[in-house]
Structure 1
Amino acid sequence: MSTDGTTLSVHRCRFVDYVPSAITALAFPPLPLPSAKGKNVVVRKALKFGTLAIGRANGNIELCEWSGSEQELQAPQAWVVRKTISGPFPSKVDSLAFTLRNPGLLPPDETPKFADLRLFSAGGGSELAEWDLENSCIRRTISSHGGSIWCIAPNPASTILAIGCEDGAVRLLSLEHDTLSHLRRLDRVKSRILSVAWGPPVPREKQSVINDEGSDDDDDEEGDWADSWIVAGCSDSSLRKFDVASGRVGERMGTDKQRGERTLVWAVDVLGDGTIVSGDSLGMVKFWESKTCTQIHSFQAHGADILCLTISPVSLAPDRTFSHC
């Protein structure tokens, strides 16, 4: 009641102390590959941010978009959640990966839109899930045939998905023609595959065909890149480089150990010039030369495990930057 005798209504409200679920995985969409023959050469411009997928410990996946314009680095709201996909209960998201639905149809100078993408996730079990982004539900699942899935990574052409499994094998799944099926298994090693990354693609050797007019025409440009090798971070203090064509282990890179305990290589990625970057349970970021598989640099980045690495997918140029956490 006020001093002049007027009665006032008081509304009392209590706010819930909301604590969001922990973020366990992040994924950005890849960019389409340029022509390996030098045709339709495109000078990369400053592209706007693509869709950001955020995986959480409660199994939910948030799809976020940048609220600013293409030339605006500082946006009022920055990342805005466009859609939240509720995962089955109980579940979690340990790995996320975007691929292009039709990589041959997307111009190299265009940022992939929502409808151009496919999203895959793994949650610590033996099932890989592909999500229907429009209907916010699981589109299909496939078993790893090798125990728990520790990591997933698509090749630069978005035609193959590599998964690292509990049984020490890297398995390749075909994504061509909007499918999801087992393609082959690389040589098995005696440790878990904790992280996996693809090396830079190389131009595929093509044969010319003679048309009716007697002139030479090259094959269709689709598939004019070939995958060369895969690097995997393992649970036995090492990284291994696999040859994609033969599926065999070519080289082994050993990391540092502490008090005789095994070092876990939680994260691995590859720069545009083929340089391998790894992050491990000792908090070390290491750079490796991919041809000789020798260590180039080593940095004590953290006092705790390095759980993820990311490299900007601007182009295949060797000067791509990286960040770690």
Structure 2
Amino acid sequence: MTHPNAALTPRHRLKVARLVVEEAWPISEVAARFQVSWPTVKRWVDRYLAGVPMHDRSSRPRTSPNKTGKAVTQRCVSLRMRLREGPVQLASRLGVAPSTVHRILCSARLNRLSYMDRATGEPIRRYEHDHPGSLVHVDVKKLGNIPDGGGRRYVGRPQGDRNRAATPGKPKKKWRNPKLGYTFVHTVLDDHSRAAYTEVHDDETAVTAVAVLRRAVEWFADRGVTIERVLSDNGGAYRSFLWRDTCEDLSITHKRTRPYRPQTNGKVERFHRTMADGWAYARCYTSEQERRGALGVWLHQYNQHRPHTACGNQPSFSRLINVPEQYS
């Protein structure tokens, strides 16, 4: 391919050479006709006489004495897939510069660890059920309560400690600040549409989890979705007899992830990360009640307006047909 600043294209270079060689035109006249210098004409005439193509030659050198060896490249790729380490760590093992390791990983398309499973080193296998309700993910997100006046994250540690001490109704421990407790966010997330149903409670017991599941089933049913299977981790609430009996009563098949493998339930885990960024820690809340009150607005934005990459950059409700308030 000719570079954009070339005065002659390969077709005109051949025409220039033929005018000089075959029709005996003076080089100066050919140069004036094509508005180029005579050394340029001479160069293409010599290429024509030597039988060399008129296309631009590659700028790659014939020899590269400092080129990274093939053995180093292969070992770099092997260590990346086996150890999942970054360029700095791999460079110390290979005895080369981190920039060299980064270049090798980019060439092999291994420059991002998100492309592989950190636990096994294998490529990530993604799945998605073909219709809403075929599978829902359930999980609980644990958040620390916010003292009245704001927490340390926004007002700083000294003021945050004073706000903790001034928050009423919390048991105080000797030599320590009062315990504010935790907020437990129970989430039921549809695998196909990524539509989420979320409630905030003060515990994560089986009784609470079962009540959330029943209300979630009704919420999805109002939107034309029948839940068939539910996937959870191995938390105590999901291993209880009450949870088992409730799933049987609702005709829902219960599945649990393999122990110590949260990646299997990764969709709801990723939702909790999005929720933490967009709601839980999005701004300075002056009380826990204020934060809980803001959840409904954010959840409406997430389900019905926020573009989701898994849904083709459309909101989650776009995969649900003729549901109430779909376009509100």
Normalising by the smaller structure, the TM-score range is under 0.3
Alignment TM-score, normalising by the size of structure 1:
0.25
Structure showing greater radius of gyration is: 2
Alignment TM-score, normalising by the size of structure 2:
0.25
Q: Point out the structure with the larger helix share.
A: 2
Bigger RCO of structures 1 and 2 (CA < 8 A, at least 6 apart): 2
